[in-house]
Amino acid sequence: MRKIHLGYDLSWTHLEGRWRMPGSWSHATFPDMRIYREIAQIAERGLLDFLFFGDGNGIPSTYQGKRDGAVKWGLGWPRLDMSPYIAAMSQLTQHIGFGLTYSSTFMHPFYTARLLNSLDHVTGGRLAFNVIASSRRADAANYGFDELMEHARRYERMEEFMDVCFKLWASVEPDAMIWDRTTGQVADPHKVHAINHKGEFFSVAGPLASPPSPQGRPVIVQAGVSPRGVEAAAKFTDMIFASSPGLEKQVAHRKRIDDALVLQGRDPAGIGIIWDVVLIVGETEAEAKHRHKLLANALPPEALPVYLSHHSGFDMSKLPAQFTVNEINAEIVKSNASPVGFLNMAQMFDPDQQISRAEFFDAMADHATGADHAVVGDATQIADYLEETFVATGERGGFMIAHPTGVPRDLLNVIDFLVPELQRRGRYRTAYRGKTLRENLSDDE
C-alpha cells in the first residue's frame, strides 16, 4: 500500500501569536535551541519525514511602508538562518530529514551549492532544499534591489541558478576521493571537473571544492503555483510543495503538474506533491475544536492588515472603501508580487464583486491565522481526510502540517494520535527504512 509522507512546518510556530498559545513552550522563547532540540526528538519519535523551515529575510514593511507593525506583533519577524539549527538538530537524531529554504532571486548558486553540500554531509544525507523565487519587497531591499525583479524573470533566474547548482553537485564524481594513506593521494584529478558555466545571470568556473555528499545533492523542492512557477518546478524538482485550497483544485493542480512534467520528458509517477495543510488533531473532536478556536484568536486585530499587506504585496492601509478583488490584484501584478497569491487569499469572494473594507477584513480574520482552512478533528477524522486527498491526487507524496496553534502540544497530538491511526490503516511507516531523506521519501511498498 502506498504510504503517506508527513512533514512538519516550523516556520511560524514562534510568530504571529502562536508562540503564546496554550500548549506552546512556557520556559523558552525563540530562538532558544532547547526548543528545537526537543522538537527534533519528538518528531523523530513519531517517524515524521522532515521538519521544514521556510524563509523570508526582510522585515515586512508593506503596511504603511513601515516595519513597526511587523516588529510590534512578530509578523514574519524575527527569523534566523536556520542552517546552524539544522546542523545541531541533526546531531541529536538519526533519521528525520530537514527542509531549508533559500532564495534563488538573491543568493549566489556557488555559495548555496557549497553550503547545502556541507549540510548534507553534517546531517548524513537528510537535507531538502526548498528553492524559492522571492516575491517580497522587504527581502529585495536587503540585496540591492529598489524594485522586485519581474515575476517571469525570477523564474528564469531560478532555472539558471539550479542548473549551476546541479552542475556543481556533479562536478566531483562519486568515486573521486581516494584518501590513500600509503601514497598520500587524496583524489583523482580526472574525476574533478570544472563546470565553466557562463549564463545570463551567473558565471561560475567550478568545480565545487567539496567531496560529494551522502545524497549527492539535497532533495529539491519547489512551490510554484503560477504557470511559469509550475514550468520551472517540472524542470528540476524531486518533490513539489503546494497549498490545500480544496480537493477539486488539488486534483486539478496535480493534473497541471503531471502535464508539465510530461512536457519536460519526466515521469510524473516519481514526483510526489506534499500538500501544505493546517491540521488540528485532538484526542477527541471536542478538544480539536477547542484548539481551533484558540487558533482563530491568535492574531490581535491591529496586526491583521499588517499581516495581509505582507502576504499579498498590497498596502492594506490604502484599500478603498469599496473595491473588487480583481482591481486590487491588478495593482499587485503591476508591482511584480505573486500574480496568484491575493486571488488565493481572497477566494471566498467573487473576484468581480464589489466589497467593502469591513467585509474584507471580517472574512480575512480567519484566513490570516489559517483557521478558515484548518482541518479539525480527532485522529480518525483527520486520517479520513488525509487518505481521501492522498488517493484522489494520485497517491504520491503526502502532507506538511502547517501553522499549528501551539508547539509542542500540536506536534505531540500528531505523533501520539494521528500517526498510530495512519499506521493502523497501513498508510504510514512503522520504522524508518532508509538512511537518507531521499530513501525515506520513497520507502513505499
Binding residues for FMN: 55, 101, 151, 155, 226
Whichever of 298 and 401 has its CB closer to ligand FMN, that residue is 401
Rg of the chain over Cα atoms, rounded to whole angstroms, equals 22
Q: How far is the CB of 158 from ligand FMN (least distance, A)?
A: 9
Q: Kindly tell me which of 306 and 401 has the beta carbon lying closer to ligand FMN.
A: 401
List the interface residues with ligand FMN, window 368-427 (CB under 6 A). 400
Q: What's the chain look like in SS3?
A: CCCCEEEEECCCCCCCCHHHCCCECCCCCCCCHHHHHHHHHHHHHCCCCEEEECCCCCCCCCHHHCCHHHHHHCCCCCCCCCHHHHHHHHCCCCCCEEEEEEECCCCCHHHHHHHHHHHHHHCCCCEEEEEECCCCHHHHHHHCCCCCCCHHHHHHHHHHHHHHHHHHHCCECCCCECCCCCCCCCECHHHECCCCEECCCCEECCCCCCCCCCCCCCEEEECCCCHHHHHHHHHHCCEEEEECCCHHHHHHHHHHHHHHHHHCCCCHHHCEEEEEECEEEECCHHHHHHHHHHHHCCCCHHHHHHHHHHHHCCCHHHCCCEECHHHHHHHHHHCCCCCCHHHHHCCCCCCCCCEEHHHHHHHHHHHHHCHHHCEEEEHHHHHHHHHHHHHHCCCCEEEEECCCCCCEHHHHHHHHHHHHHHHHCCCCCCCCCCCCHHHHHCCCC
Q: How far is the CB of 225 from ligand FMN (least distance, A)?
A: 4
**Smallest separation (angstroms) from ligand FMN to the CB of 136:** 6
Among residue numbers 38 through 57, which ones bind ligand FMN (CB under 6 A)? 54-56
Report 56-85 residues binding ligand FMN (CB under 6 A): 56
User: Which residue lies nearer to ligand FMN by CB, 159 or 276?
Assistant: 276
Q: Site size for ligand FMN, by CB under 6 A?
A: 23
Restricted to residues 311-350, the positions that interact with ligand FMN (CB under 6 A) are: 338-341
Q: Binding ligand FMN by CB under 6 A: which of 226, 297, 317, 324?
A: 226
Judged by CB under 6 A, which stretch of 173-181, 219-227, 263-271, 411-419 contacts ligand FMN? 219-227
Of 277 and 376, which has the nearer Cβ to ligand FMN?
Answer: 277
- Selected from 276, 378, 410, 421, the binder of ligand FMN by CB under 6 A is 276
Residue of 24, 83, 101, 312 that binds ligand FMN (CB under 6 A):
101
* Residue 241 is a binding residue for ligand FMN (CB under 6 A): yes
CB-wise, 165 or 242, nearer to ligand FMN?
242
- CB-wise, 117 or 130, nearer to ligand FMN? 130
Among 223, 371, 407, 415, binds ligand FMN (CB under 6 A): 223
- For residues 156 to 195, the per-residue mask of contacts with ligand FMN, x marking binding by CB under 6 A and - elsewhere, is ----------------------------------------
Binding site for ligand FMN (CB under 6 A): 54-56, 101, 130, 132-135, 223-226, 229, 241-243, 276, 338-341, 400
